[in-house]
Structure 1
Amino acid sequence: MTNRKHSACIVGIGQTPYKRWGAVTEESEFSLACKAIMAAAEDAGLPLSEIDGFSAHSDDRNDPARLEVTLGIKQLRLATMVWGGGGGGASASLSHAVAAVENGTANYVVVLRALCQGQQFRYGQFHEWSAHQKFASPYGLFSPPGQAALTFRRYMHRYGLTEEKLARVALACRANANRNPNAVMYEKPLDLETYLSGRMIADPYRVYDCCLETDGACALIVTTRERAADLRGKPAHILAVGQGGDGRWGTGNFGNYNMPEEIFSIGPQKRLADELFARAGIERSDVDVAQIYDAFSGGVITTLEAFGFCGLGEAGDFAADGNLDWPNGGLPINTAGGLLSEAYVHGLNLLVEGVRQIRGESTSQVEDTKICLVTAAAVTPTSATLLGKEPS
C-alpha cells in the first residue's frame, strides 16, 4: 500500500490549439510537444528544470533526449513509453508516471502525446508496416473504421441497437464541443437529421461516428501528494490507474474474433474495470462524469457495458434516456467534445478534460464533480483511470 502522502496526483495540464488534418500547421510536432509541456509546467507552478521524467504513448516521436536539452532539465531519471496501440495507452502512460513518483524513481513526470497528422502519416490510412493492416488488407479492410465496424455491426444485430440510439453518442460529444473554444468542432452544431444524412464510412459508422484527424499536443505533470502541496496547480488525485486486459483477446480490431458471442463486442476491459473500482474503493454509482475513448461512437456503447454502468445490450437505451448528456444526464461523457468533436490526441485530451472536471474548470462542468472515469481504447493492452477531488 502506498503511503498516503506519497500517493500520486496530477498537478499540471497543458495543451496546444487543435487543428484538423490538412490545415497548415506551421510548427513542428516537437515544437507543439514542448509548448504543451511548458503550459503544463506553468499551470503547476513548476520550473521546467525540475521535470525529471517522461512517459509517452506508443510510437511518440518526441524523444526524451531532445526534450531534456530543449527544456533545460537538470536531471533525467525516467524515460518510458507504452507498448501497443496508441489508443489503448491513454491511461497506461499515466500508470507509468504514477508508479515512478510513488516508488521514488522520479519526482515530476510529464505524460505526453503530440501528433501532427498533417506532417506525418494519418492514422485513418492504410500503413503497410502494420501487421494488423497486412492481415486485413486482402479482405478490403484498409483502415480502422472498416475493421472496427465489423465487430460493432455484430453488436447492433445481436442487441437491436438502432442508429438513432447510436447517434446519441455523437450528438452528446458535439454539443459539449460547441461550448469548448479549443475544440475543432466549436460552434459547429450537429442534429439528428444531419447525423443520419451523413455519408456512410463503414456500416454502421457514418462520418459523424468516426473521430477527427487532428494536429496538436497535450501534456500532464504527475507528482506525489506531498510535493503537490508546494505547487500552485490544483491537484487531481489518482484513485486508481491500470493497464492490461483479459487473456486470449489478442490485439487491435482482430482480437475479438476468437471470443465467445456474449463478450465478442465488449473488448478486454471488464476485469481491469473491476480491479480499478475495487482498488479505488468506490462503486459505479459514485462516478459523476466519464471521459470514454471515442475513436468510434460504438466504442462508447460497449465501454459503458464493459465498465458495468449497464448490462449487455442495454447501453443504447441508457444513451436514449439522456444519461450521456450534459448537464442533466446520469453520466455525462466527453465534456470537452472527445475524440469525435474536440481532437484526436490518442485519448490524452480525455485525461486533460478529466482533470478539468475535478478542478471545476470545464466548459461543460458537471456540478459538484468528485470522481471522473477516463478510459482508453478497448484493445490489448487497454488502460483506464479514476480521478478524484480527494485522495483515496
Structure 2
Amino acid sequence: MSDRAALKDRTAIVGIGQTEFGKNLEHTELQLACMAIRNALDDAGIDASDVDALGCFTQETTPEFEIARNLGFGELHFFSQVAHGGGAVCGAIGQVAMAIALGIAKVGVVWRSRKRGDPSKRQWAGVQPRIGDHWKWSRPHGLSRPVDEVAMLMRRYMHDHGATREQLAAVALTQRAYARRNPDALMRDKAMDLDDYLGARMISDPLCLFDNCLESDGAIAIVLTGEDRAADCRHRPVLIHAFSQGMSREHQLMTNYHGADPFVSSSSATARNLWRQSDLAPPDIDVAQIYDAFSPLVLFSLENYGFCGRGEAAQMAASGALGAGGQLPVNTSGGSLSEVYLHGANLVTEAVRQIRGTSPNQVSDARNCFISTCDSTPNGALILRRQ
C-alpha cells in the first residue's frame, strides 16, 4: 500500500464561530448551534446556501435537517456523525475534509452544541439497575464515571513513574494562566495557585476538582472548503495537513484495561498513522491543543504522540514546557479545564486563531498546530498549518 497522503493540504478551515459560553444559557441547543454556524459562515464570508456537507457527533441532539432548514442550506451531498464524545471532533472535521478533497462536496460545516449546565444533559448522572453492555467489566467494581477510570490510570502512572500531584497540578495551573488572558474563558476572572489546587475537594483520588473539565453551555462551528476556494475567503486559510482516527486492539470505551499495557491507548494507533502522512514530526510542532476533559489525559497524549518519552510527561509539565514561552505551549485558550467544555471543539478554534495570529495567548510565529481528541476513547487527531 502506498504511503502517499492524498488529503495533505488539499482542504482548509476558513471560518470559525462560537456563541457566548456560560452555565444554564437561555437558548436551546438548536439555537446555539445555529448562532455558532452563522458566526462561522460570516467569519469565512460564505453564504449559507453554499454549504453542502455537514459533520457532527453521534451525541449531538440536533439533527442535520434542523440545522440545514433553519440556516437555509442548499442540497446536502455529504453528512456524517462520529462517535465517542470527546474523541470525535477531529474525526468529524477529517471526514468532511475527505469529502471535499474527493470532490463529493465543496463547503462543509462541523459543529458542537451543548447545554451541559442542564443536569438532564449529563449522560453519566443516571444509574442503571442492571448493566448488560461493555460497562459490566468496570461499573460493578466502583468505576461508575469516566473520572474514576482516568483516576485509576493516573494512580498506576504515579506508581510506575513516581509522578506526584504537584506535577499533575502543572497542567491545570498552566491552563488557568492561559484562561486568565482569554476574555472568552469561563475562568478568566478566577485566579488559582498550587495551594488552591491541593486544597480542592477530591473527586476521584488522585483527581481533584481542578483536574476535571467545566460544566458549561455553548456552541462552536468550523467551516471548511477546498484549498483553491480558501484563498477567496476573509482570513488566511488554515490548511489541514494531516488527519487520522485510531482505535487500538482490545480497546474498550474509556478504558484500555484489557491490553498488555494500559498506556498504549488508541492515541498510539492514531499517532503512527498521523505522523506517517505528515511532513512534520513532533519536534516541529509550534503549539498543541490536547484534549483535557481530565488533566491526566494531557500527560498520556504527550507520550503517545511522541512529544516526550515514556514516563516523562509529568516532569515535562512541571518544568513549564507547556506554558507561555515553553517548549510546547499546550491548550493556550485554557482548554476544557478553564475555557469551556464543548467536547474539545474549542481546541480547534484556538488552533485556528494561533495560526491566524489572533489568539489572546499568541505563540510567536506559530506556523502549525497539533490537535488531539480524547486519549482514553477511540479518537482522532489533526495537524493544521499555515498556507
TM-score normalised according to structure 2 size: 0.94
What residue is the counterpart of 2:90 in the other structure?
91
Mapped partners of 1:98, 1:52: distance in 2: 12
Equivalent residues of 2:322, 2:330 under 8 A apart = yes
Aligned CA RMSD, in angstroms, stands at: 1.8
Deviation (angstroms), 1:213: 1.2
Deviation (angstroms), 1:124: 4.8
Letter in 2 for 1:169: V
Deviation (angstroms), 1:2: 7.0
What residue is the counterpart of 1:224 in the other structure?
226
Matching residue within 288, 294, 307 for 2:292 = 294
Matching residue within 319, 329, 332 for 2:329 = 332
SS in 2 for 1:252: coil
What residue is the counterpart of 1:62 in the other structure?
62
Mapped partners of 1:246, 1:3: distance in 2: 24
What residue is the counterpart of 2:19 in the other structure?
16
Deviation (angstroms), 1:245: 2.2
Distance 1:51 1:178, change over 3 A: same
Matching residue within 340, 351, 356 for 1:343 = 340
SS in 2 for 1:161: coil
Letter in 2 for 1:282: L
What are the within-5 Å matches in structure 2 for residues 265-276 of structure 1? 265-276=263-274
What residue is the counterpart of 1:383 in the other structure?
380
Mapped partners of 1:384, 1:233: distance in 2: 23
Mapped partners of 2:275, 2:257: distance in 1: 28
Mapped partners of 1:368, 1:265: distance in 2: 33
What are the within-5 Å matches in structure 2 for residues 165-314 of structure 1? 165-248=167-250, 250-254=251-255, 256-260=256-260, 263-314=261-312
Question: Residue deviations 1:185-240, cap 9 Å, x none?
Answer: 11211100100001110011000001111111101011111011222132111110
Deviation (angstroms), 1:374: 0.4
Distance 1:178 1:330, change over 3 A: same
Question: Residue deviations 1:142-172, cap 9 Å, x none?
Answer: 2211121112211111111011110000001
Deviation (angstroms), 1:285: 1.0
Mapped partners of 1:30, 1:58: distance in 2: 15
In the alignment, structure 2 segments of 5+ residues that lack a partner are none
Mapped partners of 1:212, 1:136: distance in 2: 24
- For the pair 1:360 / 2:373, whether they are aligned, the reply is no
Deviation (angstroms), 1:130: 9.3
Deviation (angstroms), 1:134: 5.3
What residue is the counterpart of 1:122 in the other structure?
122
How many equivalent pairs are there? Answer: 381
% identity of equivalent residues: 40
SS in 1 for 2:276: helix
Equivalent residues of 1:184, 1:341 under 8 A apart = yes
Mapped partners of 1:59, 1:5: distance in 2: 29
What residue is the counterpart of 2:10 in the other structure?
7
SS in 2 for 1:19: coil
Mapped partners of 2:87, 2:55: distance in 1: 14
Deviation (angstroms), 1:131: 3.9
Mapped partners of 1:35, 1:185: distance in 2: 23
Equivalent residues of 1:5, 1:224 under 8 A apart = no
Equivalent residues of 1:209, 1:340 under 8 A apart = yes
- For the pair 1:374 / 2:371, whether they are aligned, the reply is yes
What residue is the counterpart of 2:317 in the other structure?
319
Equivalent residues of 1:253, 1:379 under 8 A apart = yes
Distance 1:334 1:73, change over 3 A: same
SS in 1 for 2:121: coil
Distance 1:123 1:344, change over 3 A: farther
Equivalent residues of 1:126, 1:142 under 8 A apart = no
Equivalent residues of 1:251, 1:380 under 8 A apart = yes
Mapped partners of 1:360, 1:2: distance in 2: 27
Distance 1:62 1:310, change over 3 A: same
SS in 1 for 2:355: helix
Equivalent residues of 1:288, 1:369 under 8 A apart = yes
Letter in 1 for 2:38: M
Deviation (angstroms), 1:139: 2.3
What residue is the counterpart of 1:31 in the other structure?
31
SS in 2 for 1:55: strand
SS in 2 for 1:387: strand
Mapped partners of 2:218, 2:158: distance in 1: 34
Distance 1:130 1:211, change over 3 A: farther
Mapped partners of 2:70, 2:169: distance in 1: 44
Distance 1:3 1:257, change over 3 A: closer
What residue is the counterpart of 2:103 in the other structure?
104
Letter in 2 for 1:98: A
SS in 2 for 1:332: coil
TM-score normalised according to structure 1 size: 0.93
